[in-house]
Each structure stands twice: as structure tokens, then as C-alpha cells.
């Protein structure tokens, strides 16, 4: 697999690695695509909402470690508002690109940062706790990367229908019968959604 020099540099000497013992907030996320995990720890200035310290621990692959390193660099010194706008594409670009099948690794790192920020904002009463809705499903589907091109299935307009009624999620995805990633995509959709207690069943039509 072809990695950029920047990915290799951040993988070999990652920045901001470790745990903040007295972190204001921490979040851990796992990737349904590969089972890897990343944790992010934040210390935030209560007056200014600036991220003063940030560290990460990765139990993932080289791309995940490199993305953890670059996004913690990118987020340090930023306000929460600025940091939550960092996208996985920006992180991948800052690493001079990632192979398409590895894009989910940068999604995982960025998603964990966003989760930590959201947890902090809820804890501080800055935002209300979000209720589960169709929007939640769309947000989860935006994390499902089609490995063939390294882009999410919502942006690629592969999702044709989303329904949610009586705890049953119905999703229609357009993907050719002969596509080798068909089963991976279906599996990943399920794994992203099944942790929500509001969901009782997931029906995917491919
Ligand atoms: Fe698991 Fe990269 S393959 S995070």
C-alpha cells in the first residue's frame, strides 16, 4: 500500500500521543469497518472554549495513528467551534492523502474528536442533548465509506431512501450486484446503527 511521506512521518513519530490524566473530557470510538479504536483527551479553557491540551491513544493502523497525530495538531489552540469543523478530508489532505480503502481510518479519528467536543458541550450545558431522529441515521451513514473511492455513501448519492418507523430502519442503497464492496457496505451500515437503543431492526435493500 502506497503511503505519503507525511503519513509515514506521523506514523513513526506521532505527535500528542498519550493520556491526559485530568482531562476535562475524553471520548473513545471504534471503527465498525476494522474493529480498531481511538481515544481522545481534551483540556479546555472554560472562559474561551479554546482547546489548550489534546492527546490521543490509538489501537489502530498506521493511517489511524497518522490521522490522530495530525488532527490533534490541527485542533490544539482552536476553539471548540473551530475544531468541530475539521473534516476527515482536511485531515487526509494534510497528510497528503490516504489510500481510498484507508479513508475510514481518518473518519474514525475525526469522529472521536467530534464526539469528545459534543460530550463536553453537553456536560457544560452549551448544547442540549440530541434526540435520536432520521438526522442521526444520516449522520451515521455519512461515516460509511465506500472503499472503492474513499468517499462516504451519502455524498456518493448511493443512499436512495431512509425510513424510520416503530424502531425499524429501512435503507435502500444503490450498489451494483457485482460490486466487490457490496457486503462490506451493508455490514458497515449495520454496525454503525446497531449500537443505538432506539433501533430495533435494520432492513437494508441493496
Ligand atoms: Fe482500522 Fe485503519 S484499518 S483504523
More confident residue, 2 or 180: 180
Is the same domain home to 106 and 154? no
CB of 189 within 6 A of ligand 1: the answer is no
148-185 pLDDT, tens digit each: 889 999 999 999 999 999 999 999 999 988 999 999 99
Instruction: State percent of the chain over pLDDT 70.
Output: 100
54-102 pLDDT, tens digit each: 999 999 899 999 999 999 999 999 999 999 999 999 999 999 999 999 9
Whether the predicted pLDDT of 1 surpasses 80: no
**pLDDT interval class at 32 (50, 70, 90):** confident
CATH label of the domain that carries residue 42: 3.90.1010.10
Whether the predicted pLDDT of 113 surpasses 90: yes
If you average pLDDT over residues 17-31, what whole number do you get? 94
**Mutate-to-test residue for ligand 1 from 28, 63, 66, highest number of ligand atoms within 8 A of CB:** 63
Looking at every residue in the chain, the average pLDDT score rounds to 94
Number of domains in the chain: 2
Is the same domain home to 91 and 151? no
Is the same domain home to 162 and 61? no
If you average pLDDT over residues 182-204, what whole number do you get? 92
Question: Pick from 64, 94, 123: which residue ends a domain?
Answer: 123
| 101, HSE (Cβ side, Cα atoms, 13 Å) | 8
Whether the predicted pLDDT of 33 surpasses 80: no
CATH label of the domain that carries residue 200: 3.30.300.130
Is the same domain home to 140 and 119? no
Q: Confirm whether 51 is domain-assigned.
A: yes
Rounded to two decimals, the pTM is 0.89
Rounded to whole angstroms, the Cα distance separating 38 from 110 reads: 10
Whether the predicted pLDDT of 34 surpasses 90: no
* Structural domain range at position 31: 5-123
Please state the atom number of ligand 1 nearest to the C-alpha of residue 35: 1
Question: Pick from 123, 149, 166: which residue ends a domain?
Answer: 123
Distance 150 CA to ligand 1 centre (A): 13
Is the same domain home to 21 and 109? yes
Please state the atom number of ligand 1 nearest to the C-alpha of residue 61: 2
Is the same domain home to 108 and 172? no
Is the same domain home to 145 and 115? no
Is the same domain home to 114 and 138? no
**Mutate-to-test residue for ligand 1 from 36, 109, 143, highest number of ligand atoms within 8 A of CB:** 36
Catalytic positions are 34, 105
Amino acid at each position: 500500500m502506497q503511503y505519503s511521506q507525511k503519513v509515514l512521518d506521523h506514523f513513526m513519530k506521532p505527535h500528542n500521543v498519550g493520556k491526559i490524566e485530568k482531562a476535562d473530557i475524553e471520548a473513545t470510538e471504534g471503527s465498525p469497518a476494522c474493529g480498531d479504536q481511538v481515544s481522545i483527551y481534551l483540556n479546555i479553557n472554560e472562559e474561551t472554549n479554546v482547546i489548550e491540551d489534546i492527546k490521543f491513544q490509538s489501537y489502530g493502523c498506521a493511517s489511524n495513528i497518522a490521522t490522530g497525530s495530525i488532527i490533534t495538531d490541527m485542533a490544539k489552540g482552536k476553539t471548540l467551534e473551530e475544531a468541530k469543523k475539521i473534516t476527515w478530508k482536511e485531515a487526509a489532505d494534510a497528510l497528503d492523502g490516504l489510500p481510498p480503502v484507508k479513508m475510514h481510518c481518518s473518519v474514525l479519528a475525526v469522529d472521536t474528536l467530534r464526539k469528545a467536543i459534543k460530550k463536553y458541550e453537553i456536560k457544560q450545558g452549551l448544547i442540549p442533548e440530541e434526540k435520536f431522529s432520521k438526522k442521526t441515521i444520516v449522520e451515521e451513514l455519512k461515516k460509511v465509506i465506500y472503499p472503492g473511492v474513499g468517499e462516504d455513501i451519502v455524498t456518493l448519492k448511493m443512499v436512495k431512501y431512509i425510513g424510520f418507523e416503530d424502531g425499524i430502519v429501512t435503507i435502500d442503497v444503490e450498489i451494483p450486484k457485482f460490486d466487490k464492496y457490496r457486503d462490506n457496505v451493508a455490514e458497515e451500515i449495520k454496525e454503525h446503527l446497531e449500537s443505538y437503543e432506539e433501533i430495533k431492526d435494520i432492513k437494508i435493500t441493496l
